[in-house]
Structure 1
Amino acid sequence: MESVNTDVSEAAGTTSGPAAAEVPDAPTLGQILLAVEELWPESLAEEWDEVGLVAGHPLSPITRIMFAVDATLDVIEEAIEWGAELLIAHHPLLLKGVTSVAATSAKGRAVHRLIESGTGLLTVHTNGDSAVGGVSDVLADALGLHDVVPLAPSANGLPEEGIGRVGDLEDVMTLGDFAARVFGILPSVAGGVRVSGAKDGLVRRVAVCGGAGDSLFNEVRASNADIFVTADLRHHPASEAREDAVNDRPYLIDVSHFASEWLWLPAAAEALGNVLQDQGHDVEIRVSTTNSDPWDFILTPGGD
C-alpha cells in the first residue's frame, strides 16, 4: 500500500544531538510497559478486548518505537527496516482465539517475523480509546469541539474517560461545511467521507467515536447531538438511525476506520515520548507511514 498522505509522519521522544547525549539510558521493554500503563491503563479496556504485550521480552532494551494502527506485514517490515525494537499497534493482532501461529497464515507469518527479528508488539486498543487524550479526544480536538465529555463513561475510570466523546462547536455550521472540515482533518484514503443529511442542515453539538461506533446510537441520542461522526457504519444501524431521527437528527458522517484512528498516533507518540524523556530515557519514537486502510480505490457517480 502507499504511504499515508499526511504532513505528520513522525513524533520523537528524544532526538539525536547534544540533548540526546545527556540522556543515554535506553529503557527495557518492561519499563516501557509501565509508562504505557500510566498513559493508557489496561483497566480501561473493554471486557471483550485483548490488549497488552503480544511479543517481546521484558528485559530487552528499547531504543526505537513505532506506532501504527494495524500490525500488518507491511507495517511490521517498516518497523524492522527502521530498526524499531517495539511496535505499538492500536488494533490487536490476535483478538480472536487461535490454535496455531504457524507461518502458513498471515497472522502466523506476522508473529514469526516479529520474533525472528527481535521486534516486540504491544496492543493499545480500547484502553487507548477511553483514556484522556485517547482516540476520540484527539478527534474531538481536531474538529474544534469544546466542553467535551464521554459518550459512554468508563466503568473503571475517571469521569472524563470512556468510549466516544460529545461536545460543541464554537459556532453553528452547515452540515456541508462541517463535513468538509471532517474531510480536511483526515489522512487521504480511498473511502473518503459519507454524509447522511441535508447539506444546509445546521449542526453545533457533535458526537464522535474513532473506529466503529454504531453500537453507540442510544448514547448519541441521549446526548442530544446534532451529528454523529464515526466509522464502519453498517446499513441497518444507519438506516434505523435515520428512521428514528427527530428533526432529521442526528445527522451521520461515516469515515474510514483507519483514518479516524490514525489521528491519535502522533499524539500518542508524543505523550509516550514525554513520559520517557521525563524519566531520563533516550528513545526515538516514530509513527508508521504505511496506509493500512484495506481499500485502494473507490468509484462514485460524481457530482456534488
Structure 2
Amino acid sequence: MKAQEIYKVIEQIAPLYLAEDWDNSGLQIGSYNRDINKVLLTLDVTKEVIQEAVEKDVQLIVSHHPFIFNGIKSLCIDNGKGELVAQLIKNNISVYSAHTNLDSAKLGLNHYIANQLGIKETEPLVQSDQDQLFKLVIFTPQNFSQKILDVLGENGAGLLGKYSHSSFRAAGKSTFKPLEGSKPYIGRTNKVETVIEDRIETIIDRHLAKKILPILKEIHPYEEMAYDLYPLDSSISKNENGLGRIGFLNKSMSSHEFIDLIKKSLGVNFIRTAGPIPEKIKKVALCTGAGAEFLSIAKFKAADAYITGDLKYHEAQNAKENSLWVIDAGHFGTEKNVVYLLKDHLKSNCPSIETIISENIKSYFEIY
C-alpha cells in the first residue's frame, strides 16, 4: 500500500484543516510514494522507537506528537534531533504525525477517551472555528441552476442534521453592464442588461467555503460569479469538531468511584487533583494533553469535574478559586492510548498492512 494512501486514511478521521495554526501535523519526513507493509504506532518519536522500527523492518512510523515541531535551522547528525533524522533517512523510514487535528476531530482522541470513561452525549469543549457556519448565496441564470445545485450537494453543502442537499431558491431580476474587454455569457458589451436569475441559498462551514468556491467559479457560466457569503452567529455551529469534550456519565459517582474509573480506564497509577471535591460527579469535561487553559470554559459549561494534564501550580490555584474540581491525569496518561485509536482505524481501513504498537511508549518522568 502506498504511503500517501495511508496518510489519506488517517486524514479521514483527522483532517489536516483541524490542526491548530501553531501545530505541525502531517508528513514529517520521508515519502508519499513508497510501498508500506508495516506501520509502527507511537506517542513520540524517540531514539528507542526508531531503533525498534529498524529492528522490526518498519517503513512508516505514525506518531501523535510531531517529530518536527519548530523550524529547524541546522542539523548536526552527531546527536539530538539531527542524529534521529539521519537514522530515519539511512533506514528509509517515513514519519507521519496526527496531533491537534486528531485531538479536535469529531471521532478523534478526546472522543475516544470520553468513550473509555463512559462519558456520553458529548460535544466539543472548545468549538473549532472550522465548524462555523455560513450562508452562501449564488446568483445564476435559471438554465444553470440545477448544475449549481448538483455541485453544491455533491460537495456537502446544505447538510442539516440528517438531511443533505438542502437549499432555497427564488427568481429575481439582475442588472449588469458588460464593459470593454469582457466576454459576457448573456448580453452585449456596453449595454445594460436585465435578466431573470435564480438566487440560490445554502449552508456551508468554513472549511467547505474554502473548498467549494473555486469549484463553483470554475463551472459558473459568468466571467464574474456573483455571490454573497454571510457568517452566521457564532453560537450557530456544526458543533462536531473542537478541542476537548464535555458530556455526562451514565450515573452519578462519588469522587472515589470517579478516581478509580479514571485510573482503570486510562491505565494510570496515580493522578493529582485541585479544587473542591464535589459530592457527586455527573457532568464531566476533558481535554487530553495540556488543557488547563480551558479550565474556565469547563466551569462556564457547569462541569462537575475536568480531566486534563500538565496542571501548573497557579492553574491549580485557579481551580480552587473557581470552585472546579480538576483532575490531572498527566499529559502522558491522557494521550498514551492514542495508539489504540490509530490501530483500530488503520486495521479497519488498511487491512493489508501490519500495524504494530511500539514497546517504547514511556513517560519521561520517574516517580519515587
TM-score, L = length of structure 2: 0.68
Work out the CA distance in 2 between the residues paired with 1:188 and 1:216. Answer: 23
For structure 1, which runs of at least 5 residues remain unmatched after alignment?
1-26, 299-304
The one-character-per-residue Cα deviations of 1:102-127 (angstroms, maximum 9, x if unpaired) are 22332111111111111100010000
Residue 93 (structure 1) shift:
1.7
Aligned to 1:210: 288
Aligned to 2:146: none
The one-character-per-residue Cα deviations of 1:123-158 (angstroms, maximum 9, x if unpaired) are 100001011221111111111111011001111145
Question: Are 1:287 and 2:357 counterparts?
Answer: yes
The one-character-per-residue Cα deviations of 1:16-60 (angstroms, maximum 9, x if unpaired) are xxxxxxxxxxx1112212222222110000111011111111111
Work out the CA distance in 1 between the residues paired with 2:94 and 2:366. Answer: 29
Give the counterpart letter for 2:337 in structure 1: L
Question: Are 1:168 and 2:238 counterparts?
Answer: no
> Does the Cα contact within 8 Å between 2:268 and 2:329 map onto a contact in 1?
no
| Partner SS, residue 121 of structure 1 | strand
**Any runs of at least 4 consecutive aligned residues in structure 1 with deviations exceeding 3 A, and if so which?**
197-200
Question: Are 1:257 and 2:308 counterparts?
Answer: no
Question: Percent same amino acid at aligned positions?
Answer: 29
Question: Are 1:108 and 2:82 counterparts?
Answer: yes
> Does the Cα contact within 8 Å between 2:275 and 2:319 map onto a contact in 1?
no
Shift in CA distance, 122/96, structure 1 to aligned 2, threshold 3 Å: same
Aligned to 2:183: none
Residue 242 (structure 1) shift:
1.0
| Partner SS, residue 230 of structure 1 | strand
Residue 253 (structure 1) shift:
0.6
Give the counterpart letter for 2:83 in structure 1: R
Aligned to 2:317: 239
Shift in CA distance, 272/112, structure 1 to aligned 2, threshold 3 Å: same
1:73-84 matches, cutoff 5 A: 73-84=47-58
Q: 1:271 aligns with which of 332, 339, 345?
A: 345
Work out the CA distance in 2 between the residues paired with 1:43 and 1:88. Answer: 18
Give the counterpart letter for 1:237 in structure 2: E
| Partner SS, residue 130 of structure 2 | coil
Work out the CA distance in 2 between the residues paired with 1:40 and 1:51. Answer: 10
Work out the CA distance in 2 between the residues paired with 1:265 and 1:259. Answer: 12
Residue 188 (structure 1) shift:
4.3
Give the counterpart letter for 1:294 in structure 2: Y
Bigger Cα displacement from structure 2, 92-101 vs 69-78: 92-101
Q: 1:142 aligns with which of 116, 140, 153?
A: 116
> Does the Cα contact within 8 Å between 1:179 and 1:195 map onto a contact in 2?
no
Question: Are 1:183 and 2:183 counterparts?
Answer: no
> Does the Cα contact within 8 Å between 2:281 and 2:305 map onto a contact in 1?
yes
Work out the CA distance in 1 between the residues paired with 2:315 and 2:277. Answer: 21
Work out the CA distance in 2 between the residues paired with 1:209 and 1:66. Answer: 25
Give the counterpart letter for 2:301 in structure 1: S
The one-character-per-residue Cα deviations of 1:210-231 (angstroms, maximum 9, x if unpaired) are 1000111222112110000001
| Partner SS, residue 98 of structure 1 | coil
Residue 202 (structure 1) shift:
1.4
Work out the CA distance in 2 between the residues paired with 1:205 and 1:179. Answer: 14
Give the counterpart letter for 2:365 in structure 1: W
Residue 270 (structure 1) shift:
1.1
Give the counterpart letter for 1:238 in structure 2: A
Residue 198 (structure 1) shift:
5.8
Residue 267 (structure 1) shift:
1.7
> Does the Cα contact within 8 Å between 1:176 and 1:199 map onto a contact in 2?
no
Q: 2:125 aligns with which of 151, 158, 166?
A: 151
Give the counterpart letter for 1:214 in structure 2: A
Indicate the structure with greater strand content.
2
Q: 2:26 aligns with which of 34, 46, 52?
A: 52
Instruction: Provide the aligned length of Structure 1 versus Structure 2.
Output: 262
User: More relative contact order in 1 or in 2 (CA 8 Å, sep 6+)?
Assistant: 1
Residue 197 (structure 1) shift:
4.9
